[in-house]
Structure 1
């Protein structure tokens, strides 16, 4: 399979790239800055030979999404899966009275509008059919039922991402493309911190199982965890 992964240079995005390569897939690894924290991804590219292509893809800038998609189109490349992984967590633990609204807007630009930009430009390159999958990396923070009165920018943007995923799922239903918003769990990354109980490797394996249709999903929810289980909306 050919898989596009955004935010592929660190954390879960890097582990998803590693796991996809380990399973024999080709990855278009999207990164915001080709010169910032890309050493591990470049090493993976070197080790995996032709399996990893690093592309500049700043999900907050539509022009880079359009340019990257156009480049793949010119090369007659097709995608079997898209993983919208790039995301940020800002204004951690601030009350509503303390919020910097500029940071709220920045969070939406990356966490919600970013995946929308990516899908807008890369969807024409997806091989439509039951083998195709779109994964938007979400969070339990985006669940109404699990609302906890904090992390406003992150929680609200992920809630919007869940709705976008369901809208996209309905839009692509006749094309049989699977669309999921996936909660990867609380995992040890720059965002999750060292005290997180899970690992990005575990989540990456589960997400790749979903993409490869190895994970049986016997419910109708588009908001799931990395084991394919339904998440509360």
Structure 2
């Protein structure tokens, strides 16, 4: 399969790239910066998995950047099978509602919610190309969400991040309705609390474990399910739909 992963140069994104390459897939690794210091690990993977990895400049907050990336993929590969919207920021963590920087709040919404909208807007035609070009592949759009976006388990704090993930979950629901006649798996995934730059060192879960679970889901899609959410349990390391 041909898979686009945003935020691919570290954390869960990098683990998803590495796991996908090991499983024989073609990966388009979307990164905000293509400076050597920011993509060192991706460049090392590119040497090992020659011909499987393309590194793309994609700033999800810049629609022109997304458009150019989509054009580049269409020119070289004609289609993608899967979009994984992984790029996100976590800011204003310890701020009360009275202390929130509104500009920073809008920045989180722009990256975490509107960013995936931009990516889907311009890459959905390439997913449709995949459905007609390679009948053996499965098409999916995966939004990496968070339990912070749960309404039933809401907590004080993390206002920008939580709000952006609630909106991302609604995007998933709307996409599922919009694409219900097409054989495309649409899911929001809560990946669990992972030990990454965002999750911190105290997190109990390794991003590679979550990446393995996500790839199992991608290779064994649940197209006919009415559910739009997947949850990876932190302790049991399993998926519950």
Deviation at 1:154, TM superposition (A): 0.2
Is residue 6–residue 86 contact of structure 1 (8 Å, CA) maintained in 2? yes
Following the alignment from structure 1 to structure 2, what is the Cα–Cα distance between the partners of residues 75 and 44?
A: 20
Length-normalised TM-score, structure 1: 0.94
1:7-22 map, 5 Å: 7-22=7-22
Q: What residue ranges of structure 2 are gaps of 5+ in the alignment?
A: 233-237
Q: CA deviation at 1:37?
A: 1.7
Matched position secondary structure for 2:38: coil
**What is the Cα deviation at residue 195 of structure 1?**
0.3
Cα-to-partner distance string for 1:61-103 (whole Å, 9 max, x where unaligned): 0000001101122234211111000000000021000100000
Conserved in 2, the CA contact under 8 Å of 1:2 and 1:78? Answer: yes
TM-score by length of 2: 0.91
How far does the alpha carbon of each residue in 1:6-44 deviate from its partner, in whole angstroms, 9 at most, with x for none?
000000000000000010000000000100521011101
**What secondary structure does 1:209 align onto?**
helix
- Confirm or deny: 8 A CA contact 1:217 1:228 kept in the other structure: no
2:223 corresponds to 1:207:
no
Q: Could you say which residue in structure 2 is the equivalent of 1:67? A: 68
Separation of aligned partners in 1, 2:52 and 2:95: 42
Aligned to 1:30: 30
Q: Is the counterpart of residue 183 in structure 1 residue 190 in structure 2? A: yes
Cα distance in structure 2, aligned partners of 1:124 and 1:219? 23
CA 1:195 to 1:38, structure 2 compared with 1: closer, same or farther past 3 Å?
A: same
8 A Cα contact 2:184 2:223, kept in partner: no
Determine if the alignment matches structure 1 residue 221 to structure 2 residue 227.
Answer: yes
Determine the structure 1 residue equivalent to 2:235.
none
Indicate the RMSD between aligned Cα atoms, in angstroms.
Answer: 1.6
For the structure 1 residues 76 and 28, does the alpha-carbon distance in structure 2 shift closer, same or farther, using more than 3 Å as the test?
closer
Structure-2 separation of matches of 1:219 and 1:118: 24
- Determine whether 1:138 maps to 2:145: yes
Check if 1:101 corresponds to 2:107.
Answer: no
For residues 54 and 34 of structure 2, the distance between their equivalents in structure 1, rounded to whole angstroms, comes to: 12
Give yes or no for contact 1:139–1:183 (8 Å, CA) kept in 2.
yes
Structure 1's unaligned 5+ residue stretches are: none
Work out the number of aligned pairs and report it: 229
Shift of 1:131: 1.4
Match of 2:65, SS state, is helix
Match of 1:156 in 2: 163
- Contact 2:32–2:58 (Cα < 8 Å) also in 1: yes
